[in-house]
Amino acid sequence: MTSNNHLVIRQLTHTEVPRQARSYPITLLLPDWTNPRNVGAAFRLADAAGLNGIVLAGSTPRPPNSKIGKTARSTVRTVPYTEVADPLTYLRAAREREAYILSLEFADNSQSLFDFAPPAGEIILIAGNESVGISEDLLSLSNAAVHLPMHGQNTSMNVSVAVGAAVYLLLMKLQ
């Protein structure tokens, strides 16, 4: 419908939003994140995208945390998450079960997510620390590194924004 050559748009209420329950074999690994609000955003993302869950590694803030809770809303109660002290040990075990380890990082051989073809099966997506990215040790356990193309002057994004874009690009390709 149009009115004066404008499409009439009405915001849907929460109960009207169409929901298509779906699950994707992607787990987010968050090693040594510092900002609890970014962690909360990762919970919201994991819920919205139907991901397997989240691994909070190293010094990453953990629930219960008021800042995580405020950003995550109620998703900390519904998104499965694991706490691990050492992300290297976690990744070694994931490799043994043949999970595909994917680092979201600019690297000498990283591939644009626009061009990347995700494999079938379990994917562990590593999104690194807000300041220093993904450590060399974690990169060395990765099957591949991918990045989001940057077209401005900056060479990075906020980690929760970057992981959100990356997850949805992967989901688009897993359809």
pLDDT of 94 > 60? The answer is yes
Task: Write 72-78 long-range contacts (CB < 8 A, 24+).
Answer: 72/39, 72/40, 72/41, 72/43, 72/44, 73/44, 75/43, 75/44, 75/46, 75/47, 76/40, 76/43, 78/47
Q: What is the pLDDT of residue 20?
A: 87
pLDDT-based confidence at 108, cuts 50/70/90? very high
Domain count, the chain: 1
Amino acid identity of 114? F
Q: Is residue 125 part of a domain?
A: yes
Supply the range of the domain harboring residue 104. Answer: 24-148+155-174
The single-letter DSSP state of residue 13 is P
Residue 1 predicted with pLDDT over 60: no
pTM: predicted TM-score of the whole model, two decimal places? 0.94
Q: Does any domain span residue 141?
A: yes
Residue 44 CB coordination number (10 Å): 18
The pairing of beta strand 123-127 with beta strand 6-7? unpaired
Q: In CATH, what number is assigned to the domain containing residue 36?
A: 3.40.1280.10
Residue 7 lies in a domain: no
Query: Is there a domain that residue 51 lies in?
Result: yes
Helix axes 159-174, 36-49, angle to 10 degrees: 10
18 in a domain, yes or no? Answer: no
Q: Which residues contact 4 (CB under 8 A, 6 or more apart)?
A: none
For residues 36 and 68, the answer to whether their CB atoms sit within 8 Å is yes
* H-helix segments, the chain: 36-49, 66-72, 87-96, 136-140, 159-174
Residue 15 falls inside a structural domain:
no
In a domain, 1, yes or no: no
| Predicted confidence band of residue 15 (pLDDT cuts 50, 70, 90) | very high
Residues 102-130, buried b or exposed e (16+ Cβ, 10 A)? bbbbebeebeebeebebeeeebbbbbbbe
Region 145-152: mean pLDDT is 97
CA–CA separation, 104 and 68 (whole Å): 22
Give the integer Cα–Cα distance in Å for 25 and 165.
17
What pLDDT is attached to residue 93?
A: 98
DSSP structure class, residue 80: -
Is residue 161 in a domain? yes
CA dist 141 and 135 (Å) reads 10
